[in-house]
Amino acid sequence: MNRKLQNALIGITTYGRKDASPFSLPSTYIDAVRAAGGTPILLPPGETDPARLLEPLDGLIISGGGDIHPLHYNGCDHPSIYSVDSDRDTFELQLAQLALEYHLPVLGICRGLQILIVASGGTLIPHLPEVYGTSVLHRLDPAPGRRLSTEHMVKISPDSRLADCVKNTHISVVSWHHQAVHQVPPGWRVVAHALEDEVIEAVEHEHHPWAIGVQWHPELSANDPNHQRIFQAFIQATYTKQRLLIA
């Protein structure tokens, strides 16, 4: 490809739609990408040729959202599982596999981390309180059907790419999940845990140039330099990819 170095084109997966409702994505994802120097391109589920979508992109963010259907990781159904979207599952799992195969820089956020793990053959814990208890709340459930974010501390492995990104090994995160990684597939390593209950909070690929998944929501901490640096490092990795293409 013959082109000048330019603002990175970053694909961001969106929520699905129900009936006639629109595809959607919280604006915080878009704001975070723009603040880091990227140009966001929204990727709604349902496209039949994901490989073609990735061709013009410099990087991919797999966003948060509802739960992945347990069938994708040989899991069991659970009453807490919500907002399953088969079109979105299929679309994002294909995108994740292709991004890993093409060595496209990829950042998985919350559900996005789980998509990366499931796409690689890993498994998930269906409902954290049944395994880890409630000493640390990873999501608030004040009423049936109502879910809110919360905050807790995460410890990051000092020898990880993620630690290099945030320039820190202990950070406060905004959390909004009730599931997490159970079995880590080959090629991935765990690089962060919740400080108090040891829930897996981040993973990174051992061979891919830049593939990181975080279980929290860095886009909800726009004013925190620790979280800004994740997006900045991600965008920097896409420029490295551009330079290779130009060369």
- Token pair, residue 53, equals 């979508």
Pick from 11, 55, 15: nearest CA to 33: 11
Burial 4-38 (b: 16+ CB within 10 A, else e): eeeebbbbbbbbbbeeeeeeebeeebbebbeebeb
Query: Domain boundaries in the chain?
Result: 8-246
Whole-angstrom distance, CA of residue 203 vs CA of residue 201? 7
State pLDDT tens for residues 156-179: 999 999 999 999 999 999 999 999
pLDDT value of position 176 = 94
Third-level CATH fold of 8-246:
Rossmann fold (3.40.50)
Give the whole-angstrom CA distance, residue 97 versus residue 117: 10
Check residue 39 and give its pLDDT: 98
Residue-level pLDDT at 6:
77
What's the confidence (pLDDT) of residue 2? Answer: 43
d(CA 207, CA 62): 19
Give pLDDT, residue 106: 98
Per-residue confidence (pLDDT) for residue 4, from 0 to 100: 55
Q: What is the pLDDT along the chain (247 residues), one digit of tens a residue?
A: 444 567 899 999 999 987 778 999 999 999 999 999 999 999 999 999 999 999 999 999 999 999 999 999 999 999 999 999 999 999 999 999 999 999 999 999 999 999 999 999 999 999 999 999 887 789 998 887 788 999 999 999 999 999 999 999 999 999 999 999 999 999 999 999 999 999 999 999 999 999 999 999 999 998 999 999 999 999 999 997 665 555 5
Q: Following DSSP, what letter does each residue of 4-50 receive, concatenated?
A: ---SEEEEEE-B---TTPPPB--HHHHHHHHHTTEEEEEE-TT-S-H
DSSP 209: S
Q: Quote the DSSP letter at residue 68.
A: P
Residues assigned a catalytic role? 110, 217, 219
Which pLDDT does position 20 carry in this prediction?
72
CA distance 46 to 42: 13
